[in-house]
């Protein structure tokens, strides 16, 4: 029985039910840190290099908060999760950067499908072997984990935010779906670790929903739509998250599904600098208004609030609402 710490940041937003169910089925206790707040960000930005982006600082802060409370920190290193795809360099190097700082052990099973197609299987086996000798138990745990992940994805596809979906999965409350009542629609384009983190996105999703807008996120699209949209690009984008964002933006724009787009980027994010250029071009062609928000560790809420309000009004006005 060990206590595993999963820092809430970066890839955790995509795979939390998978990691959690897998570790719990193997008899571990999973500790997840509380949602990001100001002191966590301060801790993280002091620990890690200044030039990196906000999500990395949050990840470092989360790991350092968990450091004393747990036996080990579980932080899989997803170098590549499909052929031709790779992760951002900062995320690939993150387990090593945190290992140099944390007192507890960092367990980082590496998945690199591009170099070795069997690496996922090996990562699952090796992680399981740390906790049990029973191969069958590992297999069952993995089956359960994949099932939990599929349920999670299905909830996300029904426009639930990860936080809500996790609560539903753990049985705390019944799912509350957000029906399409013909209201104005907005696409919130950005990394899921920015959009879902209440600190870095200033709770953008809830704010927009309170204004009566229907919010689309990249998480709500299935894998094959993303792939289909990406195939229209001359050069395939090779970053996992950027591919998802770009595919989603293209889909919402080309289908004319939305009345406006808000793109949320963290300052100094290298990958977004490239894809935002492509998304901006596409939105310009389709005459869809685009608001680009860049977030960092500052906490001035008023500026973001004003801009969102102005943008929402612009959308309504364009639609003849005001």
Is the CB of residue 149 less than 8 Å from the CB of residue 18?
A: yes
Instruction: Select from 51, 176, 180, 210 the one that contacts another protein (CB under 8 A).
Output: 51
The interface region with another protein, picked from 49-57, 64-72, 223-231, 314-322 by CB under 8 A, is: 49-57
Using CB under 8 A as the binding rule, the residues of this chain from 65 to 104 that contact another protein are 77, 79, 84, 86-90, 92-93, 95-97, 100
Q: Is 110 in the site for another protein (CB under 8 A)?
A: yes
CB of 50 to another protein, least distance (A): 9
| Least Cβ distance, residue 66 to another protein (angstroms) | 19
CB of 206 or CB of 268, closer to another protein: 268
Give just the sign of the alpha carbon dihedral 33, 53, 11, 280: positive
- What backbone phi and psi angles, to 5 degrees, belong to 6? -115, 110
In angstroms, give the least distance from the CB of 242 to another protein.
9
- By CB under 8 A, is residue 25 in contact with another protein? no
In whole angstroms, how close is the CB of 36 to another protein at the nearest point?
20
Kindly determine how many residues on this chain lie close enough to bind another protein according to the rule CB under 8 A: 38
Contact between 192 and another protein (CB under 8 A)?
no
Asked whether position 117 contacts another protein by CB under 8 A, the answer is: no
Q: How far apart are CA 9 and CA 198, in angstroms?
A: 11
What is the number of other CB atoms lying within 10 angstroms of the CB of residue 318?
A: 15
Phi, psi of 242 (to 5 degrees): -65, -35
Q: Which of residues 274-313 bind another protein (CB under 8 A)?
A: 274, 276-278, 281
**Among candidates 47, 52, 79, 49, which has minimal Cα distance to 62?**
47
Options 11-19, 27-35, 193-201, 233-241: segment touching another protein (CB under 8 A): 233-241
Query: Side-chain half-sphere of 212: how many Cα atoms within 13 Å?
Result: 9
Give me the least distance between CB of 221 and another protein, in Å please: 22
Q: How far is the CB of 279 from another protein (least distance, A)?
A: 11
CA 181 to chain centre: 27
Helix (H, G, I), strand (E, B) or coil at 265: strand
253 binds another protein, rule: CB under 8 A: no
Start-to-end CA distance of the chain, whole Å, equals 60
Both tokens assigned to 89: 């360099």
Among 11, 59, 108, 259, binds another protein (CB under 8 A): 108
Site track for another protein across 131-170, x = CB under 8 A:
----------------------------------------
Give the Cα separation of 137 and 116 in Å (integer): 25
Applying CB under 8 A, which of residues 31, 116, 268, 316 lies at the interface with another protein?
268
**12-25 and 162-169 are packed helices; what angle lies between their axes, rounded to 10 degrees?**
20
Q: For residue 111, give the nearest of 18, 228, 223 by alpha carbon.
A: 18
């Amino acid at each position: 029985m060990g206590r595993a710490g999963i820092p809430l940041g970066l890839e955790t937003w995509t795979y939390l039910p998978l990691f959690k169910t897998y570790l719990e089925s193997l008899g571990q206790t999973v500790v997840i840190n509380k949602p990001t707040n100001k002191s966590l960000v301060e801790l993280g930005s002091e620990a890690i290099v200044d030039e990196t982006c906000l999500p990395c600082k949050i990840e470092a802060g989360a790991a350092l908060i968990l450091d004393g409370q747990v036996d080990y920190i579980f932080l899989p290193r997803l170098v590549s999760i499909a052929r031709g795809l790779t992760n951002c360099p900062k995320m690939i190097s993150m387990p090593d950067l945190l290992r140099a700082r944390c007192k507890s052990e960092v367990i980082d099973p590496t998945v690199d499908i591009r170099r070795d197609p069997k690496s996922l299987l090996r990562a699952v086996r090796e992680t399981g072997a740390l906790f049990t000798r029973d191969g069958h138990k590992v297999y069952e745990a993995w089956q359960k984990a994949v099932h939990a992940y599929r349920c999670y994805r299905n909830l996300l596809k029904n426009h639930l935010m990860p936080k809500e979906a996790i609560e539903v999965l753990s049985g705390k409350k019944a799912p509350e779906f957000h029906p399409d009542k013909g209201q104005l629609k907005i696409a919130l384009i950005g990394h899921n670790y920015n959009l879902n983190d209440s600190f870095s996105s200033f709770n953008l999703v809830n704010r927009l929903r309170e204004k009566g807008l229907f919010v689309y996120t990249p998480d709500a699209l299935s894998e094959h739509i993303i792939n289909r949209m990406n195939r229209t690009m001359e050069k395939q984008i090779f970053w996992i998250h950027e591919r998802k964002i770009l595919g989603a933006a293209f889909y919402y724009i080309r289908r004319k599904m939305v009345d406006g787009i808000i793109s949320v980027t963290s300052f100094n994010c290298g990958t977004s600098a490239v894809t935002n250029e492509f998304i901006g071009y596409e939105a310009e062609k389709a005459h869809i208004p685009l608001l680009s928000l860049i977030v960092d560790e500052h906490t001035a809420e008023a500026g973001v609030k004003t801009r969102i309000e102005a943008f929402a009004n612009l959308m309504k006005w364009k639609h003849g609402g005001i």
